[in-house]
Structure 1
Amino acid sequence: MTQPMFLTLADDSWQRAHYAFVVAAGGLSLGRDVTIFAGGRSVLALTPDWKGLAGVIADSELETRGIAGFGELREAVVDLGATVMACEAGLRMAGLSEKDLLDGVTVRGIVSFLELAGDNPVLAL
């Protein structure tokens, strides 16, 4: 059995969120269980319209360069079975509620995420 992967995001950087989904997709493709916890304004990455993130590059522009778009990566990560969590406090900080999130995203606090991670390393992206 492979070691699970725990990723956390904390700011509204589109680039960090995009890369977190790249890392998550890679881990999932290797058979690892992956959990992503979005805190602070990074919860914007878990909404249908992620345009509120800072520094967004359009998916169409990425795809012309042969790079997976944000929407494609995020969908793949969810379809491959990642656990995706949004921070309760982060939602309040971003002025969002649970109904603003994608289907399948659970709302939890940092303690729940850390409890799930246990003694496993947590990658902060």
Structure 2
Amino acid sequence: MKETSRRRLSVVLFSGDYDRVHYSLAIASAAAAIDRPVSLFLTGNGLKLILDDFEGVPGWSLLGNSENGQSALKRDQEHHKNGICTIDATLKACVELNVKIYRCEMGIVIAGLNKKAFRDDLPLKSGGLSTFLSEAEKDGGQIIFI
């Protein structure tokens, strides 16, 4: 019997809203956990997810408020209290499950950032849309835009 490969899942994370960022990580880690190859392409306000810490405050705390109006930090603390994976725990799971994390070169320029603004503890790849789309088409890929 021929073994078939799993369809690639490629997530474009454009939103910087905490709830959408958190759920995109949940989708990516769940897909990777069932052996789907996964790529996460961060651009726009989604790049805030991987900003380096500043004076002990996580860079991702700059994400927009959750849909219930809570700040990113407050919402993350609430998730932790309720036994839901936090941003850091879910991002760590993505790394451990070999999710490829790309930061959009055009998005970095538009945001006025440079590569030093990002965390150095994550295996980040740099690339543009052509890099992402070339990766996304592998294995009968599926793209989700968040």
Q: TM-score, normalised by structure 2?
A: 0.79
Query: Partner of 1:120 in structure 2?
Result: 141
Secondary structure class of the residue paired with 1:63: helix
Residue type matched to 2:134 in 1?
E
Runs of at least 5 residues in structure 2 that lack an aligned partner in the other structure = 53-58, 66-71
For these two proteins, the number of residue pairs brought into alignment is 125
Is the Cα–Cα contact under 8 Å of residues 36 and 82 in structure 1 kept in the other structure?
Answer: yes
Residue type matched to 2:61 in 1?
K
User: How many percent identity over aligned positions?
Assistant: 23
Query: Partner of 1:31 in structure 2?
Result: 35
1:99-118 → structure 2 map (5 Å cutoff): 99-102=116-119, 103-118=122-137
| Segments of 4+ moved more than 3 angstroms | none
**Structure label with greater radius of gyration:** 2
Runs of at least 5 residues in structure 1 that lack an aligned partner in the other structure = none
Distance 1:13 1:109 in 2: 22
Query: Partner of 1:18 in structure 2?
Result: 22
Query: Partner of 1:84 in structure 2?
Result: 101
Which of 46, 51, 58 in structure 1 is aligned with 2:61? 51
Secondary structure class of the residue paired with 1:31: coil
